[in-house]
């Protein structure tokens, strides 16, 4: 039985297989519409989410399966003090696969140690969010037609942003990747992430100026400054609007730049950019459903 | 130099980095033993300049993982009938269990009390341990 707790649980070949299946689903959805008939996905969301939960649920429904679950801890027995392990053992009796989000880091790993059905980590605090990374990889693969030879700008909160750390981790496996790390001083990429990049032979540049290297980028990955990561409201307010991507800033960017964002956005991408053909963040949401469909099939070992 | 009686049967933990002897004493719960235990701090050492030594006047089972984590350079001498019969070194353990608590308030171990506190050696060169669950780095003194 397989679990997906960390993107590193999947080999490069497995990721490539998932991307291939996801692309096939996009082209021939009818072929997959009954693959999960009589199967149940449990979405256990101990904290709120819009995209991830609905994406998992839509994915299972489009595979012909059914969905059960809850969307906040208050509507589960957790509010009565039940442990993660007990909840998982219970839900395993009703479902074939579980997608789980939890505010505590490491909760999906604990769950996977006790579960009788596959567990997919749908986000644990500021730690891992592997299906977002798979979504990002599918987006890059579809939009750029490759996963190597790319200059990727990561912009915003590079200190707490789990999605950017996971993406860096995943891209380490591909050739000729260069990162431009764009952030204010207080939200710079942690040292351990940079050391890993150096060890993996990945080139990177750090800057606080989004326009300085924008003409070199193949991908610009924007992130939100997350209020919940700050203990001090003043710091949050000072940094939240540090970068606002607008048409002016994109003036020198390549015509085939791919602008990504894991969403939700607050102010960091001006809505005037939404109609720009280079804006890919809503397509990214759509890709998220297809890669989750491919992942559910893989975890359930359905060909 | 201060004189402490030699031991007839027991264990001498030597080459402890200076001022870490008490940490080892506490981590091994040596206060719970009924026998004599001497913690010598700041002893002169040709090799180390200053070092700590612990003498335990009884043969006991030592938790080598704890010793290896606190100070992988220490040596352990087994004494029988006034003679050293064995000497060995400890190594950095691959993981340590229930010695330290994860300090990350967002870690699952902060709410699920029955979980073991497990830290895994992720960087041997820099002696970095990370929480098995949340991967937070365990700070070293």
The tens digit of pLDDT for each residue in B61-74 reads: 988 998 999 999 99
Shared domain check, A49 and A35: yes
Closest approach of B94 to chain A, Cα-based (Å): 19
Domain that holds residue A116: 7-128+288-299
Lookup: tokens for B110? 């902060």
Please provide the DSSP assignment of B45-89 as one string.
ETTTEEEEEEEESS-----HHHHHHH-TT-EEEEEETTEEEEEEE
pLDDT at B141 over 70: no
Secondary structure element (H or E) that encloses residue B60, with its range: none
Active site residue A129: yes
Mean pLDDT of B44-50: 91
Q: Considering only the beta carbons, identify the residue of B114, B133, B137 that sits closest to A106.
A: B133
CATH number of B10-89: 3.30.70.140
Write down the pTM of the prediction. 0.88
pLDDT in the model for residue A226: 78
| Residue A23 placed within a domain | yes
Tell me where in chain B the CATH 3.30.70.140 domain(s) lie. Answer: 10-89
Shared domain check, A230 and A247: yes
* Average pLDDT score, chain A: 93
- CATH number, residue A87: 3.40.50.1370
Residue of A nearest to B106 (CA): A104
Q: Considering only the beta carbons, identify the residue of A105, A110, A192 that sits closest to B115.
A: A110
Shared domain check, A234 and A107: no
| Residue A248 placed within a domain | yes
ipTM: 0.86
Q: In this complex, do B108 and A84 lie within 8 Å of one another by their Cβ atoms?
A: yes
**Residues A124-144: tens digit of each pLDDT:** 988 899 999 999 999 999 999
Exposed e or buried b for every residue in B36-60, given b needs 16+ CB within 10 A?
Answer: ebebbbebeeeeeeebbbbbbbeee
In chain B, residues with a C-beta closer than 8 Å to the C-beta of A192 are 137
Shared domain check, A174 and A122: no
**Interface-testing mutation among A88, A106, A114, A198, with chain B (most B C-beta atoms within 10 A):** A106
Lookup: tokens for B22? 């008490």
| Residue A2 placed within a domain | no
Shared domain check, A174 and A262: yes
| Residue A189 placed within a domain | yes
Shared domain check, A276 and A142: yes
* A229 closest CA partner among B106, B57, B87, B126: B106
| Residue A14 placed within a domain | yes
* A213 closest CA partner among A162, A154, A263: A154
Active site residue A52: yes
Shared domain check, A136 and A276: yes
**Distance between CA atoms of residues B103 and B124, nearest Å:** 21
pLDDT in the model for residue A57: 98
How open is the CA angle A281-A287-A289, to the nearest 5 degrees?
A: 120
Q: In this complex, do B137 and A192 lie within 8 Å of one another by their Cβ atoms?
A: yes
Q: Considering only the beta carbons, identify the residue of B114, B115, B133 that sits closest to A105.
A: B133
Active site residue A80: yes
Q: In this complex, do B131 and A106 lie within 8 Å of one another by their Cβ atoms?
A: yes
**Interface-testing mutation among B104, B107, B108, B129, with chain A (most A C-beta atoms within 10 A):** B108
Shared domain check, A193 and A140: yes
Strands A40-45 and B49-56: unpaired
Shared domain check, A105 and A74: yes
Shared domain check, A136 and A67: no
Count the Cβ atoms, other than its own, within 10 Å of residue B92.
Answer: 14
Sequence-ordered list of residues with C-beta below 8 angstroms from that of A75, at least 6 positions apart, any chain: none
Shared domain check, A212 and A142: yes
pLDDT at B76 over 80: yes
User: In degrees to the nearest 10, what's the CA dihedral of A267, A269, A273, A276?
Assistant: -150
Shared domain check, A145 and A70: no
Mark the ranges of chain A whose per-residue pLDDT is less than 70: 75-77, 79-80, 228-231
| Residue A145 placed within a domain | yes
Cβ contacts below 8 Å, chain A against chain B, sum to: 44
Q: Considering only the beta carbons, identify the residue of B104, B114, B137 that sits closest to A105.
A: B104
Strands B83-89 and B95-97: unpaired
| Residue A149 placed within a domain | yes
**Distance between CA atoms of residues B15 and B52, nearest Å:** 6
**Residues B96-140: tens digit of each pLDDT:** 999 899 999 999 999 998 899 999 999 888 899 999 999 999 997
- Which of A69-78, B17-26, B35-44, B128-137 is the least confident region? A69-78
Residues 142-201 of A with CB under 8 A from B: 192
């Amino acid at each position: 039985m397989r679990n997906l707790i960390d993107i590193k649980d999947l080999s490069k070949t497995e990721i490539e297989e998932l991307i291939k299946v996801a692309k096939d689903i996009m082209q021939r959805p009818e072929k997959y519409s009954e693959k999960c008939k009589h199967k149940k996905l449990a979405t256990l969301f101990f904290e709120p989410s819009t995209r991830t939960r609905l994406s998992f649920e839509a994915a299972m429904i489009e595979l012909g399966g059914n969905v059960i679950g809850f969307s906040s801890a208050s509507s589960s027995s957790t509010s009565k003090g039940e442990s993660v392990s007990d909840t998982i053992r219970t839900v395993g009796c009703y479902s074939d696969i579980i997608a789980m989000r939890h505010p505590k880091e490491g909760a999906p790993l604990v769950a996977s140690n006790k579960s009788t059905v596959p567990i997919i980590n749908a986000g644990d605090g500021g730690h891992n969010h592997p299906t977002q990374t798979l979504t990002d990889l599918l987006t890059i693969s579809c939009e750029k037609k490759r996963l190597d030879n790319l200059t990727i700008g990561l912009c915003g909160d590079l200190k707490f942003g789990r999605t950017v750390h996971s993406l860096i981790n995943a891209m380490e496996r591909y050739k000729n990747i260069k990162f431009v790390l764009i952030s204010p001083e207080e939200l710079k990429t942690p040292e351990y992430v940079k050391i890993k990049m150096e060890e993996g032979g990945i080139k990177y540049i750090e800057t606080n100026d989004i326009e300085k290297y924008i003409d070199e980028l193949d991908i610009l990955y924007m992130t939100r400054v997350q209020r919940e990561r700050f203990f001090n409201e003043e710091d949050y307010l000072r940094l939240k609007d540090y970068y606002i991507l607008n048409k002016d800033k994109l003036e020198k960017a390549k015509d085939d730049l791919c602008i990504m964002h894991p969403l939700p956005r607050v102010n960091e991408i001006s809505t005037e950019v939404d109609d720009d053909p280079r804006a890919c963040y809503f397509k990214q949401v759509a890709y998220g459903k297809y890669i989750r469909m491919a992942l559910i099939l893989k975890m359930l070992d359905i060909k | 130099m201060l004189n402490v009686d030699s031991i007839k049967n027991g264990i001498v933990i030597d080459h402890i980095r200076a001022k870490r002897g008490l940490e080892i004493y506490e981590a091994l719960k040596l206060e719970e033993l009924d026998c004599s235990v001497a913690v010598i701090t700041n002893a002169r050492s040709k090799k180390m300049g200053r070092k700590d030594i612990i003498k335990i006047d009884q043969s006991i089972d030592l938790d080598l993982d704890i010793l290896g984590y606190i100070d992988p350079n220490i040596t352990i001498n087994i004494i029988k009938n006034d003679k050293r019969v064995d000497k060995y070194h400890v190594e950095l353990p691959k993981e340590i269990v229930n010695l330290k608590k994860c300090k990350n308030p967002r870690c699952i171990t902060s709410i699920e009390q029955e979980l073991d506190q497990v830290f895994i050696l992720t960087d041997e060169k820099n002696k970095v341990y990370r929480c098995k669950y949340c991967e937070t780095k365990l700070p070293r003194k």
